[in-house]
Amino acid sequence: FGLLIFLKSTKSKHVFLLKLAMYPKYSKLLQNCRYLKYCRNDPIVCSLQFHQSGIQIMSISGNTSFLSTLLDFNFIRRINVGMRMNVLTLIVALGFLACGAIVFQSMESQKAAKESGDRHAKLAELARDANIDGLQMRRSEKDFLIRKLEKYLGKYQKSASKMEEALAEGHSLGIKEAEEEIKLLLEKLPAHRAQFQVVFDTQKKLGFNEKQGLQGAMRKSVQSVEKELNKTSVDKLKVTMLMMRRHEKDFIMRHSNKYVGRMAKRKSEFEAMLNLPFIDPNVKKALLPLMDSYHKDFNAYAKVDINMVQEVKNLSAIYADMEPHLVKLFEIAELGVAETNKQQIEAQQESVKMLIIVAVFVILLVILSFWIVGRSIRRPIEGLNSVMLELASGNLDVNNEGIGARDEVGEMARSVEVFQKSAVEAKRLGQEAEQNRTERENQAEEERKREATENTTRVERQEKMDGLTGDFSDTVEGILGIVASQATQMESTAQNMSGVAETTRNQSNTVSTAAEQASASVQTVATAAEELSASVDEISRQVTHSAKISGEAVAAAEGTNQTIRELAEAAQRIGDVVDLINDIASQTNLLALNATIEAARAGEAGKGFAVVASEVKNLASQTAQATEDIGNQISSIQSTTRQAVDAIEGIGTTIGEMNEIATAIASAVEEQGAATNEISRNVQDAAAGTQQVSENISEVRSGSEQTESSSNEVLSASRELSDKFGNLQSEVQSFLQGIKAI
484 within 8 A of 425, measured Cβ to Cβ: no
461 versus 434: the higher-pLDDT residue is 434
Over range 296-321, report the average pLDDT. 94
Taking residue 147's Cβ as centre, other Cβ atoms within 10 Å add up to: 11
pLDDT digits (tens, 9 = 90+) for 500-538: 556 656 655 665 565 566 556 556 655 655 655 565 566
The per-residue pLDDT for range 592-616, each reduced to its tens digit, is 666 667 666 665 555 565 666 666 6
What pTM was computed for the model?
0.41
- The b-or-e profile of 441-471 (16+ CB within 10 A means b, else e) is eeeeeeeeeeeeeeeeeeeeeeeebeeebee
Q: What's the pLDDT band for 38 if we cut at 50, 70, 90?
A: very low
Phi-psi region of 261 (alpha: psi -120 to 50; beta: other; left: phi over 0): alpha
List the one residue out of 338, 278, 360 whose CA is nearest residue 102. Answer: 360
Class of domain 420-742: mainly alpha
pLDDT at 462: 60
The percentage of the chain sitting over the pLDDT mark of 70, rounded to a whole number, equals 49
pLDDT tens-digit readout, 452-464: 777 666 556 566 6
- Angle CA(4)–CA(73)–CA(520) in degrees, nearest 5? 110
The helix/strand/coil state of 60 is strand
- Looking at residue 627, its pLDDT comes to 67
State residue 163's pLDDT score.
93
Give me the mean pLDDT over the 130-135 stretch: 92
Nearest CA to 92 out of 375, 406, 513 is that of 513
pLDDT at site 294: 94
Beta bridge partners of 47: 59
pLDDT of residue 77: 59
d(CA 268, CA 524): 106
**Rounded Cα gap, residues 299 and 8, in angstroms:** 102
CA distance to 336, 342, 669, 670, per residue, from 665 (Å): 17, 10, 6, 8
**Is 643:135 a contact under the CB 8 Å cutoff?**
yes
Calculate the alpha carbon distances from 734 to 227, 461, 467, 619, 737 in Å: 176, 21, 17, 166, 5
Domain definitions of the chain by residue range: 2-71, 420-742
The pLDDT assigned to 418 comes to 78
